[in-house]
Structure 1
């Protein structure tokens, strides 16, 4: 099973929604959404998963963003009411709790009675204190852990490996110095390594920031399989990076490199790659949010295709 972990920004939610609408999420993919805002896009995306009867997960105690404050302030609003209804009624949702040393069930914005739909996340040894106090010896659906020996020894049940595979650099221009690098082989070895699945933060990375800025360079991050079916990531970076002006021109420069890469047969075509090709052919600039959306879509669909091809490895 593959659990792409997304922070619920607008472009991430739209990426999931477009994959869902185009039936590009296989049964071996269960996205995790950590909501950062109580937004119409969040609720409509979750409603789409319910209507399609597609499995999805929502973090009940998000550690970033303003969701908890907005949910509390607008607890009687239509959005909160719709969200509560989804959580109460959907049979296809899992509910994620991020462990910490002092975690208690009261941290969750809503109580969930069904322990069989509960997912826990332990990324540091101190997180075991919250896990042991609240969930040890209970039959949770999955327990996510980082690759640490102590966590693997002490966490029980169905374990899922969670990793941050994206090497985030300070500036987009820095990716020019190392434009191609190893990304992951978890999809090949998670069963051999005694996990029930694997999770990552796609091409965004675990680090969260709400602030935006005009970059000097445009970078398109695309994962692809090498000859051994390892996932690598290629960074297609613009050339005229002396100042933050003309983002459309910079996108065109980066896109030309991507299209050359695709035409060389090095990237499997996905819904997102076809969209990049349309943008190239029309000379359109969709904005940087859409560029990230398409890169996320490509990654998730590519892994979904791999797991479908190797269905025995995704159980």
Structure 2
């Protein structure tokens, strides 16, 4: 149903690990593109998902991070560790740099396993669909608008992923932006599932510079807008210098607390919101990675609640 797309940075893997029970109970299937050389964090995350009865797909040919030039180590790790457990399955990125022959060669290396094909700019959809060997495929389309490309894959599982998070400088965000309605409309668009890039967006960078402004991104579903999803950007006020990130966080967090304390707030009271309340009460700044982790957890719990009660 829901296929959130993660890049395997530490705070993203921790968000999956801490949400493993929610993910498993909701039947969600994370797609993880590992970007770190070591597999320690990935391994702990996948083990927790399996322990909770969940599943995930791991991209074995990443285009970002330490494995972008050679994913054989990832493929070998999955073969050795999850040989007899299809809950953790391989995924392949199909890019515009690939020929149909190259794609088929990669696919052939994962025979007899469920395989997720992430269509990320690949152009010969019809040629690939007509040449695919028999197998258990999930086709994930990163361009949800390209109807003609995905048409040849009718009959198999098809998942649409949309980047609902518009990336800006933190100081430039409005208070509220529209995020997505795919969680409502994916079936109408002929898909079996949907996904997004959570509150991070489809942008990858190894590290960020100093934060002139701090923003906390919190999604919510609005029943008055046909259950469309929106995202709050609670941002700091003192944004002229990169000093005092803790003070900037406190300013942004105060605005978040004011919103969630409103009697008619549409923000779900998730475990992440409880943690934000605790941070506010203790006047504690846990670091920006931790804040991003809480935003991701909130997003996952919000969608889990929607599908449980929608």
- Alignment TM-score, normalising by the size of structure 2: 0.88
CA RMSD of aligned residues (A): 2.4
Kept in 1, the 8 Å contact 2:126–2:152? The answer is: no
1:119-141, CA deviations, whole angstroms, 9 ceiling, x for partnerless residues?
Answer: 11224351537844763x64433
Deviation larger for 142-151 or 198-207:
142-151
CA distance in 1 between counterparts of 2:66 and 2:148 reads 32
1:13-35, CA deviations, whole angstroms, 9 ceiling, x for partnerless residues?
Answer: 00000111x54543331111110
234 and 46 in structure 1: CA distance in 2 versus 1, 3 angstrom threshold = same
Q: Is residue 126 of structure 1 aligned with residue 118 of structure 2?
A: no
**3-state SS of 1:2 partner:** coil
Partner of 2:36 in structure 1? 37
Partner of 2:230 in structure 1? 232
131 and 277 in structure 1: CA distance in 2 versus 1, 3 angstrom threshold = farther
86 and 49 in structure 1: CA distance in 2 versus 1, 3 angstrom threshold = farther
Partner of 1:95 in structure 2? 90
Kept in 2, the 8 Å contact 1:60–1:97? The answer is: yes
Q: Is residue 58 of structure 1 aligned with residue 58 of structure 2?
A: yes
- The answer for unaligned runs of 5 or more in structure 2 is none
86 and 132 in structure 1: CA distance in 2 versus 1, 3 angstrom threshold = same
Partner of 1:9 in structure 2? 9
Kept in 1, the 8 Å contact 2:22–2:301? The answer is: no
Partner of 1:104 in structure 2? 103
1:41-74, CA deviations, whole angstroms, 9 ceiling, x for partnerless residues?
Answer: 11111122222221111112111100356866xx
CA distance in 1 between counterparts of 2:29 and 2:71 reads 24
Partner of 1:308 in structure 2? 308
- The answer for unaligned runs of 5 or more in structure 1 is 311-315
How many residue pairs were aligned? 298
Q: How many Å apart are 1:192 and its aligned residue?
A: 1.7
1:80-113, CA deviations, whole angstroms, 9 ceiling, x for partnerless residues?
Answer: 98654323132312321111333435558x9432
Deviation larger for 153-162 or 272-281:
153-162
Partner of 1:286 in structure 2? 286
CA distance in 2 between counterparts of 1:98 and 1:134 reads 17
CA distance in 2 between counterparts of 1:104 and 1:277 reads 48
**3-state SS of 1:225 partner:** strand
**3-state SS of 1:33 partner:** strand
- Alignment TM-score, normalising by the size of structure 1: 0.87
- 1:96-245 matched pairs, under 5 angstroms: 96-100=91-95, 101-102=98-99, 103-104=102-103, 111-115=109-113, 117-124=114-121, 126=123, 128=125, 131-132=128-129, 135=132, 138-145=134-141, 146=143, 147-156=145-154, 157-169=156-168, 171-175=169-173, 178-226=174-222, 227=224, 228-245=226-243
Kept in 1, the 8 Å contact 2:3–2:30? The answer is: yes
CA distance in 2 between counterparts of 1:81 and 1:94 reads 12
